[in-house]
Each structure stands twice: as structure tokens, then as C-alpha cells.
Amino acid sequence: MRKILFLVVAIVMSLGANAQEIGKETQKRMQWFGDAKLGIFIHWGIYSVNGIDESWSFFNDYISYDDYMNQLAGFTAEKYNPEEWAELIAGSGAKYAVLTSKHHDGVALWDTKCNDLNVVDKTPAGKDLVAPFVKELRKNDLKVGLYYSLLDWSHPDYPNKTRKIKRYENDSLRWANFVDFNLCQLEELSKQFKPDLYWFDGDWEQSAEKWKAKELSESLRKWNKDVILNSRIQGYGDYATPEQGLPVTQPDAPYWELCMTMNDSWGYQHNDHNYKTPNQVIRILVDCINKGGNLLLDIGPKADGSISDEQVEILKELGRWTNKHAEAIYGTQAGIPYEHYYGPTALNKTGDILYLFVPHKPNGSLVLKGIKNKINRMWVVGNGTKLNWDVKMKQYWSAVPGIVYIDVPEKVLDEQVTVIAVLLDGKVDLYREQGQVIESN
């Protein structure tokens, strides 16, 4: 009995040690992602020819499948300049980019040998579009992400073709063929391009068991042990991916990323001019930073490979702002609760510098409450101007910190969002008084 008890204890301790080791491995793998804060999503495919919804146009019966695929003939990529793309992305302040290697329509942007539905064999572009872009991202010290749709509404062995049309209901042999096809393409991508990140999509149509998500994730890490996977692989991903809707509260996931369009479309649509302003984009980025997450901002190149002027201008102004305020962006952690400051905040890694984001021209002094630390210094990030502050209502007999009033001269304000750095005498220490319930007779 005693030997059995020792054996059980040893097994439990071993499992605990392994779990701890896995946790450390995950943290190491995810470090660059957690520090990055900004990435650029790129939706590029044949849907840009007519400027229609990518893949969903035929799936939802807005147009016929044949009319959708006729766009193959107009996808030229004649103005595609991956060097300019990479420089524009790097200039925006992004630390990684994610390119749609294949959307739900099944059209691959690389020279896949797993089938012939790709831009090399089926479009006037006639060349691999992924390889040169990956090369240029690496040149600019940017991490490489590849979007890959697990479902493929064009593949003859995938059960669904449109919302109403199914190729089959139950056919284990055809399904096994499709799973092998996915594995074939992902092995190509992994071995040829060695991406730092996979951005999966389309997992909702099948279960983890049917996708063989566990085996797939293990294969991806066999080919590249440090690869990061997003959450859309039925529970085997590394980070959460809210889409379009900015989280109101901080997500529970330790790592997360908001993916968002510049206008209302992922791919290029010439009729969609509802672009967010640079100010709106920057303030959304700030909200993501405040909650400890990343922003993956989308661009949609045209069928010829050029990027519209509106998108270029947004990226350039974003780059001006991120370059100026780099210390308050990259490598930061989530800020303090809004009760302490009327706006978004962030903390440096050691927690002794508090960054205050100021999206408006202040009407009077900024207010900081409940900070138990001594404040050593304040300055305007990207400007260097030292700021004055005053403490009111600090009573020597009370544990409640005083209210800090910060004067910010108008001349130091950034035209988009101003950032104030507050250097503390140690890791931020917040006063969080528990409310008392007063009962009346």
C-alpha cells in the first residue's frame, strides 16, 4: 500500500511539473505576441476583382458560384510590390502581419501542389504571391502570420458548398480525403514559409474531432515548435480573437487580439468608403493596449496588388503616432481600473511607470486617484516636457491617498492622443476601499 501511495504521489508531482513546464513554454512562445500590440491583417484574393464579399458572396447565394469564380480571370497582381507592402506595414508601427494564404473560397495565394486551385495556375498573376511577401517581412524584422481557412467550399470532398447546397451528409472516406488535403497544404506552408503564427478560420462548421484539431496542432508544432495558433482551431489555440467588436471589459484570456477592418469590408470593395478616421483607429488601439491585448488592423489590396490611398494614409498617421509613443505601447501590460483615472492607461513591464492616455483636450487638470505610491516624475511621452502636479485632500491620519491634479499645457498635446508617463517609487500600489452598506431604520 505504501509503495502504491508513493507511486501516486510521484505521478501527481510529475504531472504538476510537466504542466508548469508547459506553462513556461507557452509564455516563452507568446512573449513576442504579447509585446507586439499591433499587427496588420491582409485580406487579398479574387474577391477584390469585383469588390464583393470574400467567399460569403456565393455561400449566401448573393451570386452564383460560377460568377464568383469568374473573378479568377481578373486577378492580375500586376502592381504587387511586396517590398512596398512590408515597408508600409513596418512604418505603421506593426510588429507582425497576417496574410490570407487561402480564404473559404479555396483559392490559394501560393504555388500549392496539393491541388490546382491557386493563383499560379488559375489567374493572370501566374506566380506565388506569399513567398516574396514573407521574404520582405523578414527583411523588416516583422513576424510572419498566415491566415488559413480550415473549411474549403470549393473542394470536391468538403461537405458544404453553399448554405443550401451540400455535396454529402455522411461519407467518411471523402471527409478523410479532405482532412488529408488540409494537412498537405499546411505542411507546405509550414515547411516553405515557417510562419511565426497561424490565423485559422472556419472551424465552426466541424468539431475538433472531425478536424483532428489535436493531431493538426501537434503536426504544426512538429514542423515549427514555436509557432503560435489563434483560437479558431476548436480549443487548441494560444490566444483569443474577438472580431470587429471592441471588448468592453478585459477578456479572460491571458493573450488576445481584436481583428478589425478599416472600413466595413475585409477585402477591397470600391464602393465602401466608410473608413474610420486615424483618430478612431488610434483610440481603438489604445483601448486594446489598456486591456492588455493587441489590435490586428485589416487592409484589403486591390486585384492589381495596389493599396488604396485611404488605407495608406491611415497607416502613415498610425505610424507617426506609434513611433512617437513607442515606450507606452510595446511591451506594456494592462492598465489600472477606470476608477483611478478617467481614461485608458497602461503599465510598463515592471509596473512602476503608469501611462495615461489623453484622447481629448483637457478641460482643466487631469485627475489621478487612489495611487498609494510616491510620484517621482511626470513627462509627456514623445515630447519629454516635464509636468507639474499637485496633491489635494491628503490627510496625515488617513490611509486614503490624496487626489493628484496634473497640469497639461495645450502646446504639448498630440493631435490624436497625448500620452503622459508617471514614474512611481515602485510597482503601482492602488488603494481599493471596500464599500460599506449603510442600513436605515
State residue 18's pLDDT score: 41
Q: Check residue 273 and report its DSSP letter.
A: -
Cell of 135: 521574404
CB–CB of 213/224 below 8 Å? no
Residue 121 has phi, psi (to 5 degrees) of: -90, -25
CA distances from 255 to 5, 37, 239, 247, 342 (A): 39, 10, 5, 13, 25
Residue 321's pLDDT is 98
Place of cell 516624475: 377
Taking alpha carbons only, the member of 160, 122, 130, 163 closest to residue 147 is 130
Alpha-carbon distance of 82 to 261, in angstroms, equals 21
Residues 6+ apart with CB under 8 A from 240: 231, 251, 253, 255, 256, 257
DSSP-derived secondary structure letter, 435:
P
Per-residue cell: 378: 511626470
The CATH number that domain 28-328 falls under is: 3.20.20.80
State residue 394's pLDDT score.
87
Below-70 pLDDT ranges, the chain = 1-22, 434-441
**Residue of 272, 263, 286 lying closest to 358 (CA atoms):** 286
CATH of 338-424, picked from 3.40.50.1980, 2.40.160.60, 2.60.40.1180, 3.40.50.2300, is: 2.60.40.1180
Q: What is the pLDDT of residue 436?
A: 34
Domain boundaries, the chain: 28-328, 338-424
What is the reported pLDDT for 373?
Answer: 96
Quote the pLDDT of residue 274: 98
In contact, 239 and 228? CB cutoff 8 Å: yes
22/212 Cα distance (integer angstroms): 21
